[in-house]
Amino acid sequence: MKTIIMTGGTSGLGEIAAHAIGHAPNTRLIIGARRSAAGKVETIPLDLTRLASVREFAQAVIEKLGDTEVDGLVLNAGTRFPTSDHRTEDGFETTFGVNVLAHYLLLRLLLPKLARDATVVITTSDTHDPKRIPMGPREFDIEELAHPPKHRNPTGFSAGFRAYAASKLGDLLIARGLAASNEAKTKNLNVVAYNPGLTIGTSLFRAWPLWARIAVGAASLVRPFARMNTVEISGKTLAELALDRITPPPGRIYASLNSRKLEWPDPSELAQRDDVMQRLWRESARMVGFAD
3-class DSSP string for 132-160: CCCCCCCCCCHHHHHCCCCCCCCCCCHHH
243 DSSP assignment? T
Q: Tell me what the mean pLDDT of segment 72-95 comes to.
A: 92
> Is residue 227 scored above 80 in pLDDT?
no
pLDDT reading at 137 higher than 70: yes
Domains present along the chain, CATH in parentheses: 2-288 (3.40.50.720)
What pLDDT sits at residue 257? 96
pLDDT band with cut points at 50, 70 and 90 for residue 90:
very high
Q: What is the C-alpha separation between 167 and 161, in angstroms, rounded?
A: 10
Phi-psi region of 40 (alpha: psi -120 to 50; beta: other; left: phi over 0): alpha
- Find the length of the chain: 292
Cβ contact 183:111 at 8 Å: yes
pLDDT in tens, 18-63: 999 999 999 999 999 987 766 668 999 999 999 999 999 999 999 9
pLDDT digits (tens, 9 = 90+) for 249-282: 999 999 999 888 999 999 999 999 999 999 999 9
143 band by pLDDT with thresholds 50, 70 and 90 = very high
For residue 292, the model assigns a pLDDT of 64
Residue 208 pLDDT > 80: no
Flag whether pLDDT at 200 surpasses 70.
Answer: no
pLDDT of residue 229: 82
Question: Of residues 160 and 220, which shows the higher confidence score?
Answer: 160
Count Cα neighbours of 73 within 13 Å in the Cβ-side half-sphere.
28
Q: What is the mean pLDDT of the chain?
A: 89
**pTM of model > 0.85:** yes
Average pLDDT value for residue range 197-202: 68
Instruction: Indicate the range of 95-99, 133-137, 243-247, 270-274 predicted with least confidence.
Output: 133-137
Buried b (16+ CB within 10 A) or exposed e, 44-53: bebbbbbbeb
